Structures are given as C-alpha cells and as structure tokens.
C-alpha cells in the first residue's frame, strides 16, 4: 500500500522530452509504498517580479507550491540547458522561495536528469543542488541518476524507457529515496 506521497517535477515542457518520459516511468519503477504523481506544470508561472508578488502570489504559483507542500518528498527530473537549470524551473523555485512558508524547506528531494551527451545533465544537477540547498531542502546525494545519450535509452515514438541498466539505476535511487523520505518525515 502506498503511504508516501511523492510529487515529481519535470524541468522540461517539451512534449517529446526524455525527461518527461523518465518522469512518466517513475511510478512503475518505484517501491509499492510510494505513490508518485506529477506536480502541476510550471508553464503558467510568470517570471518572478517583486511588484507582482506585492499584489499577491499568482494562482499558478500557489497551485504548484501546494502540491509540493502536501508531498512527503519531491523528485525533480530535468534537462540541462547551457550547463545549468532550465530557466522556467529555476523561476518556479524562486517564486516558492519568497513564500512565508517555502514548500521546499525541509522537503526531501531527489534529482534525476536526461541529456543527449556524455554527462547526462550532471552540471545541471550541481546547480540545482545549490538552489535547493539555499531553500533548505534535504537532498538525496546518492545514488545519482544521470541518463546520458538519452535517445538510446527510450523507444523511438513511444518514448518508453527501454534501457535495463537505466531502469535498474532509477529503481536503486527510488529505493534509497523511500528510506530517505521516511527518515526525514518520521513515517515508518
């Protein structure tokens, strides 16, 4: 029975995103105790502006933050853009960091990435860890999930994850994340 509510966030809005495909594969690879659901998309969150914040947080920010706040843990699956975090994802994190009760504060977070090159999004993960540390998230350091040469790991057309070593790596991280979330939430 699933007693851990995990929210997954995709750092890409592209329909054919390998990161989105990995995000969709997570529920089938997770331990039975984890219910993984996608967070609301951050596409409608405006660029952060204090003047806008002064008038109140926009509805898309509140919806996104509430999903994170209600979760026991968060998994972020993101591509790497120009060696760093996609701007829209970083913007959404920046918005929530301005809230009186930042939903990322104290929240267990795991990070995964897919990229077409050798490093599999490693540089993005480093920067994302920095941002999440600044908002006081509790970040699972290992095992890491870097899906390199991602076009070879997913079926053409359906984007189903077909690479067994990648599935095994993701399962290993999800098993570790289950224990990590329990440790940091007190759920036994």
pLDDT average per 10 residues of sequence, the chain (188 residues): 94 96 99 98 96 97 98 98 97 97 98 95 97 98 97 97 98 99 94
C-beta pairs of 28-33 under 8 Å, 24+ apart in sequence? 29/167, 29/170, 29/171, 29/174, 30/6, 30/171, 30/174, 30/178, 31/174, 31/175, 31/178, 32/1, 32/2, 33/1, 33/2, 33/3, 33/4, 33/178
* Full-model pTM: 0.97
Q: What CATH architecture applies to the domain 4-185?
A: 3-Layer(aba) Sandwich (3.40)
């Amino acid at each position: 029975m699933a007693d851990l509510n995990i929210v997954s966030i995709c750092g890409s809005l592209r329909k054919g995103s390998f990161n989105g495909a990995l995000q969709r594969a997570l529920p089938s690879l997770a331990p039975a105790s984890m219910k993984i659901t996608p967070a609301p998309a951050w596409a409608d969150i405006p660029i952060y502006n204090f003047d806008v914040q002064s008038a109140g947080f926009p509805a898309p920010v509140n919806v996104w933050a509430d999903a994170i706040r209600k979760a026991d843990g968060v998994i972020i699956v993101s591509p790497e853009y120009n060696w760093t975090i996609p701007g829209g994802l970083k913007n959404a994190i920046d918005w929530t960091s301005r809230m009186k009760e930042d939903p990322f504060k104290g929240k267990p977070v795991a990070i995964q990435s897919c990229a077409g090159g050798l490093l599999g999004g490693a540089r993005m993960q480093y920067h994302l860890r920095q941002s999440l540390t600044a908002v006081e998230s509790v970040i699972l350091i290992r095992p890491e999930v870097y899906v390199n040469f991602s076009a070879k790991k997913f079926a053409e057309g359906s984007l189903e994850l077909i690479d067994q070593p990648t599935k095994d790596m993701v399962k290993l991280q999800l098993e570790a994340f289950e224990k990590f979330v329990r440790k940091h939430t007190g759920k036994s």
